[in-house]
Amino acid sequence: MNEYKLKDLICEIGRRVYAKGFAAANDGNISVRLNDKEVLCTPTMVSKGFIKPEDLCVVDYEGKQLRGTRKRSSEILLHLAVYKNNPQVNAVVHCHPPHATAFAVAGEPIPKCVLPEVEVFLGEVPIAIYETPGTQKFADTIIPFVKKCNTIILANHGTVTFGPDLEKAYWNSEIIDAYCRILILARQLGRVNYFTETQTKELLDLKKKLGYDDPRFAKTENCDLCGNNIIQRGYRDYDPQPEAFEREEMAACTVGASSSASRTPDIDVLVKTITEQVLAALR
């Protein structure tokens, strides 16, 4: 696709982002890799619903603006962190879809093993630690994850999704927000049913056949398919634990679930104490 067509496509995706309510006011930004020296991106302070091709900017891989009359987005460093660390990615969408951002605000990990499309198209979705937007420190928060996934939740901020082309990168934003919305609705109904290990294995086989990658293909432990967050594990200084979507049968699996392990001796002590008291009373 030439630069002219890519500019049109960015404007079209901007309209979809805005129409879906994924970006209030001038929130969000979109970019496309042009070549190994240049990235095309949206400007700052323009609503994504109303961008024109002439508004778009071209930057180098350090974020320096090369072309365009408007100033490039301040969040371009986030996009560049993806391009620099994953050569397979050609487009990045950052926005604030409300349902996914609710998980980002709650610090609630995105559960696995609930919807087939999410398992196949997204897989595991990590949460990156919070940093002030627009800074290099903020951009660096996603580096541990960009090679292993295509969708990242930014704590107290929003989402970043990416892919081999712009439409696929954007679809991931739609998929994660629809998923989070369904999860919240199902939770309000009172129950979330999860796939069994066998059902999940079947989905992962299908995923492999369709040509997608997933870190779980090389899983080493039983709990990795639906329990442990295996991407997040590489980034242990921030390891959010589930609260709203904790699976009881997975409690023993969770990394750092020393609470369930330490609960057992406490109960043993309690049972022993009560038994002794009962026996003493009977005597």
Give the nearer residue to Zn ion in terms of CB position, either 177 or 214.
177
In angstroms, what is the minimal distance from the CB of 43 to Zn ion? 14
Residues 6+ apart with CB under 8 A from 5: none
For Zn ion, give the closer residue by CB, 113 or 125: 125
Question: What residue number has its CB nearest to Zn ion?
Answer: 158
**Coil, strand, or helix at residue 238?**
coil
Site string for Zn ion, 156-195 (x = CB under 5 A): --x-------------------------------------
What is the greatest pairwise CA distance in the chain? 92
Asked if residues 133 and 245 have their Cβ atoms less than 8 Å apart, the reply is no
Q: How far apart are CA 266 and CA 240, in angstroms?
A: 25
**Nearer Cβ to Zn ion (16/201):** 16
Strands 151-154 and 39-41: unpaired
H/E stretch holding 90 reads none
Least CB distance to Zn ion at residue 77 (A): 12
Applying the rule CB under 5 A, the residues between 32 and 91 that interact with Zn ion are: none
114-153 mask for Zn ion (x: CB under 5 A)? ----------------------------------------
Minimum CB separation from Zn ion for residue 159, in Å?
Answer: 9
21 versus 256: smaller Cβ distance to Zn ion: 21
Cβ at position 27, least distance to Zn ion in Å: 6
User: What is the chain's Cα-based Rg?
Assistant: 22
Distance of alpha carbon 270 from alpha carbon 233, whole angstroms: 34
> What is the total residue count of the chain?
283
Catalytic residues: 75
Which two three-digit tokens encode residue 234? 């590489």
Interacting residue ranges for Zn ion, rule: CB under 5 A: 158
